[in-house]
Amino acid sequence: MEGGELPGLLVNEIGGICGILHSHVAFLRKHFYLITMKELLENRKHLSRKVQAIYLWWHKPVIDRELLQSLPNLKVIANSGVGMDHLDLKLVASFGVKMANAPRAVCSSTADAGMALLLASARRLVEVHHIAISSSMDYCEADILGVKVSGATLGIIGMGRIGYKIALRAKAFEMKILYHNRTQRKAQEEQAVGATYCEKIDSLLQQADFVMVAVSLTPQTRNLIGKRELELMKPTATLVNISRGAVVDQEALVMALQTGVIWAAALDVTYPEPLPRDHPLLKLKNVIITPHLGIKTDKTTYMITEEAVENILAALNGLPMPSEVLPS
């Protein structure tokens, strides 16, 4: 089947674990001639020159030098999310290929997921759910007590778009909000959510009842939360990670949870994903783990695809890309 005048868009697959969603296909086909990796590999001679853009869904297809060299007309790569740590940005740029992420689409759903994890951990929802459905359930023990969220102190590490959305939600729960960021927010932005800037991360860790990590994974943020940082936290504190698994030293986290250095953890991200089935984090009662669900709602995923299409079409038409990412 020939693609006509539509530009070729390479995707990993349609459906499956790492494929674009079936519900997005009709929308994408209005703008592009879709080519899957399987089709490209089976007919590289005919299809490689047709590919002008790549849409990454769940980090697939893998972008390496071999693939870039095989696509002479590639102009742009759009990512289905914010984090770009799975891409060698300098390598991609060296081929004259532009890159974009989807920051606008993901913020609200990721912030929702962060607050959901915070609340579920604070009120021990997973643990008490299993008690409630147990065949031997007569009553809930009187000492199955959670942590009061209203009035507690939330420390947000990374006050970008997602971090700020978290602060908006935390304000509604009447939480005291601290934040640490590379740059301080404007005074009116701080006042709108009642947030206080902590220039040093140590100050935030020492004060917070809940620490929520919402940074991008970079060489500077890898293992940002390690043994030293965990030991600065209160023994009653909870760590919530919605950024990337490698931002937290997981061995140090396991030890901190096992020895009472901190009270609990709630993780939407791990390293690797999924964890090996014998990993100690999977055996701890004071841990909640979800399989990277931050963006996974029907509306959000569709908005991500819309944002990707907007960026790709802008690049192909020589216009500024709304969410262009440049190599640092």
pLDDT 10s digits, 76-134? 999 998 889 999 999 999 999 999 999 889 999 999 999 999 999 999 999 989 888 98
Q: Provide the mean pLDDT of the chain.
A: 95
pLDDT at 3 over 50: no
Query: How confident is residue 287, by pLDDT bands cut at 50, 70 and 90?
Result: very high
Domains of the chain: 8-104+297-317 (3.40.50.720), 106-289 (3.40.50.720)
Res 83: pLDDT: 86
Res 1: pLDDT: 38
pLDDT digits (tens, 9 = 90+) for 44-80: 999 999 999 999 998 899 999 999 999 999 999 999 9
**Which of 189, 199, 231, 273 is labelled catalytic?**
273
pLDDT digits (tens, 9 = 90+) for 22-34: 999 999 999 999 9
pLDDT at 328 over 90: no
pLDDT at 146 over 90: yes
CB-neighbour burial class of residue 228 (10 A; exposed 0-12, middle 13-18, buried 19+): exposed
pLDDT at 2 over 50: no
Question: Which residue is it, tokens 């209160």?
Answer: 234
Q: Output the pTM of the full model.
A: 0.90
Q: Is 39 a catalytic residue?
A: no
Residue 213 bridge partners (DSSP): 157, 241
Question: Which residue is it, tokens 């006050």?
Answer: 159
State percent of the chain over pLDDT 90. Answer: 89
pLDDT digits (tens, 9 = 90+) for 209-242: 999 999 999 999 999 999 999 999 999 999 999 9
**Which range is least confidently modeled, 39-43, 136-140, 185-189?**
136-140
Q: Is 228 a catalytic residue?
A: no
Res 142: pLDDT: 65
Q: Is 46 a catalytic residue?
A: no
**Which of 292, 306, 310, 324 is labelled catalytic?**
292
CB-neighbour burial class of residue 320 (10 A; exposed 0-12, middle 13-18, buried 19+): exposed
Question: Which residue is it, tokens 């853009």?
Answer: 53
pLDDT at 4 over 70: no
pLDDT digits (tens, 9 = 90+) for 298-307: 999 999 999 9
Q: Which residue has the higher pLDDT, 58 or 268?
A: 268
Distances (CA, A) of 98 to 68, 91, 259: 12, 11, 47
Locate all alpha helices (DSSP H) within the chain, ordered by sequence. Answer: 22-29, 37-42, 44-47, 65-69, 89-94, 103-122, 125-133, 161-172, 187-193, 201-207, 227-232, 250-259, 298-316
Q: How many degrees, rounded to 5, is the angle at CA 305 between CA 77 and CA 219?
A: 50
Distances (CA, A) of 122 to 36, 87, 117, 270: 44, 35, 8, 20
**Which of 169, 190, 244, 307 is labelled catalytic?**
244
